Amino acid sequence: MDRAIEGETARDDRRDPVLVDHAAGVLTLTLNRPEQFNALSDEVLADLLAAFEGCAQDEDLRAVVIAARGRAFCAGHDLKQMRGHAGDRDYYLSLFRRCGRLMQAIVHCPVPVIARVHGTATAAGCQLVASCDLAVASDAARFAVSGINVGLFCSTPAVALTRNIALKNAFEMLVTGHFVSADQARAYGLVNHVVPEAQLDAAVGGLVEAIKSKSPLAVRVGKSMVQRQLGMDLAQAYEYAAEVMAGNMMAEDVGEGIDAFIEKRPPRWRGR
């Protein structure tokens, strides 16, 4: 991954609110408002939504990485932009609905989405991490849902947070606004791995390569299945899982994978 994610360069694309890079089956979306701590402005939300809308049509896509430039990962919504619409309830409703659509687009993206968190993630920035399938944080990262500090309960971040970590941990974060460390976030289940900042790219890259080494069909089937069964009761979930698994068994990749295991050779995935 480009080291310029955190550094200062003279690249012309620094004016773009989100940098988009697509290489070797991996879509990397880099938040690019370092001076504003990568706040989710209207423009950032629009760019991210457009990027995720394109994922459904990309049959070669294997993973998405969300990264950021500057000192922070994401400071949540752009408070200055929000204050510019003071008293405009329709704008605020539209803003939070758009943010909700983005988080749902991440959840429903057909491939795993990985958050690469190098710095602070607050409010909707913490929501962004919670909405991703996987998250890798540097040991310098910190997390909070801090709207309560300005009199605003983080209701939309609460949706993602309470679906991602234990309710008591989530509610404490929501009503206190206190920061939790990267290690606490890992203990809560908000992130998968915590590594020294110098090892962050390698850790994210290791996850990406592990995913890419598996059948692309199985990974897509698995992400969709896991998300759908969450809303079912136990009996429905097992019936749905049986249907999905039986269908998955019909795929060429499963036959190839079993043959490769028996023959003690690497599988040659076909994605079907």
Q: Is the pLDDT of residue 249 over 70?
A: yes
- Euclidean distance between the first and final Cα of the chain, in Å? 29
Dist. CA 38–CA 78, nearest whole Å: 9
Residue 5: per-residue pLDDT: 43
pLDDT in tens, 111-138: 999 999 999 999 999 999 999 999 999 9
Residues 6+ apart with CB under 8 A from 72: 34, 37, 38, 119, 120, 121, 122, 125
Q: Is the pLDDT of residue 12 over 90?
A: no
Residues 6+ apart with CB under 8 A from 170: 158, 161, 162, 164
Residue 14: per-residue pLDDT: 56
**CATH architecture label of 216-263:** Orthogonal Bundle (1.10)
Residue 15: per-residue pLDDT: 82
Read off the pLDDT band of 271 (50, 70, 90): confident
Residue 136 belongs to what H/E stretch? strand 134-138
Q: What percent of the chain stands above pLDDT 90?
A: 92
pTM, full prediction: 0.91
Domain 3-212 has CATH 3.30.1330.60: no
Closest CA to 262 of 272, 254, 251, 270: 254
Q: What percent of the chain stands above pLDDT 70?
A: 95
Read off the pLDDT band of 265 (50, 70, 90): very high
pLDDT in tens, 162-213: 999 999 999 999 999 999 999 999 999 999 999 999 999 999 999 999 999 9
- Mean pLDDT, range 207-232, rounded to an integer: 95
Distances (CA, A) of 236 to 92, 163, 229, 233, 241: 37, 19, 8, 5, 8
- Mean pLDDT, range 59-74, rounded to an integer: 96
pLDDT in tens, 147-173: 999 999 999 999 999 999 999 999 999
Residue 47: per-residue pLDDT: 97
Read off the pLDDT band of 11 (50, 70, 90): very low
Could you tell me whether strands 63-68 and 113-117 are parallel, antiparallel, or unpaired per DSSP bridges? parallel
Contact between 62 and 216 (Cβ < 8 Å): yes
- Mean pLDDT, range 89-112, rounded to an integer: 96
Distances (CA, A) of 40 to 18, 27, 49, 123: 10, 19, 12, 10
Residue 112: per-residue pLDDT: 98
Dist. CA 190–CA 122, nearest whole Å: 13
* Residue ranges per structural domain of the chain: 3-212, 216-263
- Mean pLDDT, range 17-42, rounded to an integer: 96
